[in-house]
Structure 1
């Protein structure tokens, strides 16, 4: 086993050496990309047509960019390209559709792939006027739920290990639950009960929204909440990155950044009371320098708590 590991390591080093030598002898990036391009191992576009109705769609794929489209189809239809090492399953159990894609690749950790994106695109066509609960996961790829007009869904859970999530014009009867290890999350014109966003590395933008609760957590990346309402609570916590809350109405705010600035532009100035603290930085409230701590008390008119913490960064509160 030890000898096998050494063999793998030597092959990996030789591969790196080959790439360096290729550049040294005049090869260009396009030539190297073509060498590792496996697009010839993908099929032409295939379609799978479900023949019965469903109310829930579950998807778990390894390497696909997923897009949902409402179309003039009778039942859910899937367009995709199949790699020669893929294993696809399409099941309908009760009222739940399950779609999975696995790719056999023993050498994945040394796989230098430059496959054009089009070969890894997967389109889900949904019958117009139908509503579904979605539970979608792609390990490498983007997730897109982008519509010209507002569409209603029952529930939306989406995860991308490496890839972005984009959602536009969606009303969820229940909750949004979105996560990504590496990739941005962009949301616009969305409504629902609760929005939960969990990011490891990536930015989050939420614009034109209406929820009861909004929760955003990211380790490394900026957070923007703009033009919206969270009738009960707004929680946003960042380890490394800035937070901007612009014209968002709520009954309570809890914001924090370990390393980064926090900016609030509010239309609720007359209703706010403050619990603001910084370790290294300054606090400015409506243009006035408040030092490193600014705490006020609630009153009959000031009933909305704005709590903000930063370790290294500034807190700025401006009136819209």
Structure 2
């Protein structure tokens, strides 16, 4: 069995059935919400509350938390609220969190989705003794609906549980955004970043975390309002700041063609890894339209920078061809640094829905 974003062509002898997973359409969404007890008269308000969620798993959780989710809740807030409500069924819900964090971190460190039952019990008991908490909390944790015990193994019902709890553990343990960003940059923890960012409500901490991560996919999730309102506000402001810096740089630049395959921009500007990641994220989310005006200004200033460097008339096909080739990636900078407009258009082109494909949002 193999999985891929696109169907893989294999020899007939090893071929088999092909299955494509898709998100539910509006009719299926309504049916799913009704199956969890949403009344017909409440469907419109519940659907508005669940607009940010697209998968069956997300919708099934959201349907059970109607009217109790935070405003503009993303995936992390949804799962955090669901886990929180399930833990309230225990006699010591606060004491359960460190145990769940401990198990999630062990799984994270070992790159596995389960722990031997005996080890889980023993290590959790040692943790509780160190915290001067009742050892009986271990049994409550094992009976918790957010944990599954089978075949002498302890695991979480879904990998998202483990990811959220591991991210929350890191947020609790790290002393600041810089240390947290360093932990999240470790290769096996890259998926935890989208869970950790929404757990912070301080815009300055979120800004520092986004800059420390310099991760395009995290910035894309933030710009698409999937990491909560604070991350959205910070990411949008950062995107505008980066675009304004790019507009100013292009307004003062002259771009010349040094050969058929190279161009040079004077004065040269070195963009940081964070700024390059932000430009790529802006391109990937460009069709959402929230940054249309600063994007238009950047394209105009980039156009003028090329015209200053070529000396050609405004109607010259040569200038238009040079700009198109640069932004399309077929010619590159002599200094190795791509123009902001080139980074943005490259990602926008890849993200734009193609014939036969459903575009991602």
Q: Which has the higher helix share?
A: 2
Q: TM-score, normalised by structure 2?
A: 0.29
Q: TM-score, normalised by structure 1?
A: 0.32
Q: Which has the higher strand share?
A: 1
